[in-house]
Structure 1
Amino acid sequence: MARSRWVAPVLAVAVVAAFVFVFGVPTPATPAFDDPPTRLDSCSVIRDSGRYVLTDDIDERAESCVRITADDVVLDGNGHVIDGHTFRENTTGIAVTGRNVTVRDLTAVNWTFGVRYEGARGGTVTNVTTWHTGDGVTVSDSPESRVGRVTATNGFTGIFVRDSDGSVVSNGVVRDMSSVGLFVADSRDVTVNNASVVRSKTGIALLGDRNGRATDAVVRSTDEALLLVDSRNNEIRNATLSNPDGAAVVARSNESDNRLVGTRGNWTSDGASGTTHKNRA
């Protein structure tokens, strides 16, 4: 995954440790199908449009357990778990490259990437839980995606959105991340609603973003509650920031015209490099 553009800024500003989210935007339609769903009980490649449902938990040491290459797919986990057995590098629980793909109602455990969309426009991830997984849900080069009701615990990054203009992240709950709870990079017009991040190195990071909006976020017990780097004209509204050991930190570097409106809690703003200008709180 091409994240190298942000390795140096995050290390310098956030001192990242290693690990070794819908309003005002049209919502993609979930595909409708007349045929009964195809039943899955093992790792599979989905090459045809349609509905698929997990009928059992899957515990396999696969590089990618479920790969979805077709457009117009609904994968219903039916509450089951996809488990990589033990954590290993460069593994993916569910890998999506098709357009208009919905993944819902499942848990991914012990993967480098729990659910990963790559070049997959208009996808939807909902009611997904990840645990002991490097990056819980990743949306990369996938515009107009929807990530809702994701719970990510014990990993590196909880929810990561990159190069995915017009995407929406809502009702995400992220806990115990060694890097970033919710990370949005190199994207325009991304909306984040009702995010909760607790005990992460950085709570919410906006790096290289334009015209985004985050509302009603709650961030607690982080080194940096908010991190703004190379970002312009974003609005963070009604955030609640707190830290049991002192003021929560809003860290800023090379960014302008970002607005913090109605921010609650004990917090302070820290310009990490150079002078912060034209920002309004």
Structure 2
Amino acid sequence: MPRGPRTASARGLLLVGIVIVLVAVSTGAVSAQRANVSTVDSCTTIDTPGRYALTGNVSGDIENPDAACIEITAGNVTLDGRGHAVTGTGAGHGIEIDGTENPVSNVTVRDLRASNWSIGVFALGSDNGTIRRTITENSTEGLALGASSNYTLVNNTARGNAIAVALGGQSQNNTLRGMVAVENKWGIHFERESANNTVLDSVARNNSRWDYYSERNDAENVVRNLELSTATLSFAGQNVALRSVTAPPALPRGMGNLDSYVEVTDTRGGESTLSLTMSYGNAQNSVELWRHDGQRWSPVGRAQVDSAARTVSANLTEFGTFGVLADAGAGAGGPVTVSVDDGPVQRTLSTPTATPTATPTPTPTPTAGTEPSDTESTTTTATTDVARGASGAVTDVFTLGPLRAILVVLGVAALVTLGVVALRERDGGPGFNR
């Protein structure tokens, strides 16, 4: 027999009930997973996979220079600082991912400040990790990798350190993106066979020694869009150091200033190579790449100018001070005043509005793909845990939050109504047509 409107209505009601219940349960499961965060409120060792979060600022007085305040010795760990600080007294490591005893991979450290350490945030002998949105300052080394590969360092700021970002001891195939190294002695630093790394869209300014430094490497590192105070550079280089030039030598007659200068030196004699691209601003006349060798300026042979992209490129075998200069006819030349780019730098992380309340308990391995996007803002955003029972785990439907509780109630009501309709049909009342 054909089904009537009541049949369709009942079936629709069944479908709605099932969908509502499934949505409520699934969102509850996601919330349960987010809720299952272990808390950290002091120096500790994290030796179990899971998700961890700081509940407040942590301080440690570490006497052993090789010891750490918060040491991570397990893989598949996420440590979320929630904007809090880990502060030392000048020795030891603030956060250390330690894979020297057992293999450690897939560790994420994010959203925290590390100050006054020998190394602020350190990955040693580990791989495939992420360090995101940290501020490291007033330390010997702000952020460092030692014998660690396939890391992603993204949107980190290092300031006031001896070395801002240091990769050494065969740390290879790492990606540094959105890094900011300002007001240190050395900026971004690679040494001891730490090659085949990539630096993207980063800033290195006002570092008193060198903004970029590489030494004792047997292959190149690649840099794209590194902003210095007086130049934006892209290059592939081995055993070279580069820094801003705020007071270049007087220009040769007939050449004009375009505010694009960099000093380059070799750090290992004949084993230094550099393929350099320098950007420049608006130029009305033709431009060239010039080199000052300490005594005089001369044009760099075989330099390639891309006027559409406003770049000049050259493979360099001799070093010194380089400048992109414009043809000024019979004028210009002489001393110049360079416009210095000293834009704002991320110096603070926002204070969280809520902290987790669960007691520290081992948690499952984080689900892949749950980390924030690498392109997120460098400002930390606060997150709020869902309600939970005394054990820290979701205990019943009412801990899922008001909206999910309402969804469950509506779904159950729909299913109960459907049951009543079915009973009436069985007893000969209105229902499905036979």
Task: Give the conservation status (yes or no) of the 8 Å contact 2:221–2:237.
Answer: no
- Supply the AA of the counterpart residue of 1:254: G
Which residue of 2 is the match for residue 68 of structure 1? 72
1:248 to 251, 262, 280: 262
Size of the aligned set, in residue pairs, is 229
Cα distance in 1 for partners of 2:279, 2:161 equals 27
Cα distance in 1 for partners of 2:236, 2:290 equals 13
Which residue of 2 is the match for residue 36 of structure 1? 36
2:201 to 172, 191, 194: 194
Q: What percent identity do the matched residue pairs reach? A: 26
- The change in CA–CA distance for 1:129 and 1:248 in structure 2 (over 3 A counts) is same
User: Which has the larger share of strand?
Assistant: 1
Equivalent residue of 1:254, what SS?
helix
1:174 to 152, 157, 181: 181
> Shift in Å at residue 184 of structure 1?
1.6
Task: Give the conservation status (yes or no) of the 8 Å contact 1:50–1:73.
Answer: yes
Which residue of 1 is the match for residue 148 of structure 2? 142
- Supply the AA of the counterpart residue of 2:74: A
Structure 2 stretches lacking a partner, 5+ long: 1-32, 99-103, 249-260, 282-288, 295-301, 303-313, 317-434
> Shift in Å at residue 165 of structure 1?
1.6
For residues 46-104 of structure 1, what are the alpha-carbon distances to aligned partners after superposition, in whole Å with 9 as ceiling and x for unaligned? 011111000110122134110000011100001000011x32x4x10001122111000
- The change in CA–CA distance for 1:230 and 1:216 in structure 2 (over 3 A counts) is closer
Equivalent residue of 1:220, what SS?
coil
Q: How does 1:1-281 map to 2 (within 5 A)?
A: 36-62=36-62, 63-84=67-88, 86-87=89-90, 89=91, 91-97=92-98, 98-162=104-168, 163-178=170-185, 180-185=186-191, 186-200=193-207, 201-207=209-215, 208-220=217-229, 230=239, 242-246=244-248, 247-252=261-266, 253-264=269-280, 268=291, 280=315
Which residue of 1 is the match for residue 368 of structure 2? none
Structure 1 stretches lacking a partner, 5+ long: 1-32, 272-277
Equivalent residue of 1:70, what SS?
coil
- The change in CA–CA distance for 1:227 and 1:114 in structure 2 (over 3 A counts) is farther
Equivalent residue of 2:127, what SS?
coil
Equivalent residue of 2:52, what SS?
strand
Q: What is the TM-score when the length of structure 2 is the normalising length? A: 0.48
Q: What is the TM-score when the length of structure 1 is the normalising length? A: 0.73
Higher relative contact order (CA 8 A, sep 6+): 2
Which residue of 2 is the match for residue 6 of structure 1? none
CA-based RMSD of the aligned residues comes to 3.0
- The change in CA–CA distance for 1:38 and 1:269 in structure 2 (over 3 A counts) is farther
- The change in CA–CA distance for 1:151 and 1:254 in structure 2 (over 3 A counts) is same
Equivalent residue of 1:125, what SS?
strand
Equivalent residue of 2:56, what SS?
coil
For residues 155-200 of structure 1, what are the alpha-carbon distances to aligned partners after superposition, in whole Å with 9 as ceiling and x for unaligned? 110011121221001111111112x200122123211012211121
- The change in CA–CA distance for 1:270 and 1:133 in structure 2 (over 3 A counts) is farther
- The change in CA–CA distance for 1:149 and 1:66 in structure 2 (over 3 A counts) is same
> Shift in Å at residue 267 of structure 1?
7.8
Task: Give the conservation status (yes or no) of the 8 Å contact 2:220–2:238.
Answer: no
- 4+ residue runs of structure 1 moved beyond 6 angstroms? none
User: Which has the larger share of helix?
Assistant: 2
- Supply the AA of the counterpart residue of 2:190: V
- The change in CA–CA distance for 1:73 and 1:242 in structure 2 (over 3 A counts) is same
> Shift in Å at residue 143 of structure 1?
1.0
> Shift in Å at residue 125 of structure 1?
0.3
> Shift in Å at residue 114 of structure 1?
0.2
Larger CA deviation: 184-193 vs 66-75? 184-193
Tell me which structure has the larger Cα radius of gyration. 2
